[in-house]
Structure 1
Amino acid sequence: MQFKTLLPLALIIFLSSSCGSPRHISYLQGLHPEVAEDIRQQTVIRIRPKDKISIVINSKDPLLADLFNLPIVAHRVGYATNSSMNINQQVSGYTVDTRGEIDFPVIGKIHIAGMNREEIAAFVKNELTSRNLIKDPVVTVEFMNHTISVLGEVNKPGRFSIDRDKISILDVLGMAGDLTIYGKRENILVLREDSGKQIPYVVNLCAGLELLSSPAYYLQQNDVVYVEPNSMRARQSTVNGNNVRSSSFWLSLASLLTTVAILIVK
Structure 2
Amino acid sequence: MSTAEVLAAHGVQIVICDIQDDIGESVATEISTKTHNAKIQYQHVDVTVRSECNAVVEAAVRFLGGLDSLVHAAGHIHQDAAETIAESELDRMLDVNIKGTIFMNQAVFPYLKTRGGTILNFGSDFASEPLPLLAHYAASKGAVQSFTRAVAREWGKYGIRVNAVLPAVWTPMIDGYRENLEAESVAGHDVFMNDRVCLGEKFGDVEIDLVPVLAFLVSDASRWITGQSVPVNGGLSLVR
Q: TM-score, normalised by structure 2?
A: 0.16
The structure having more radius of gyration, on CA atoms, is 1
Q: Greater helix percent: which structure?
A: 2
More strand by share: 1
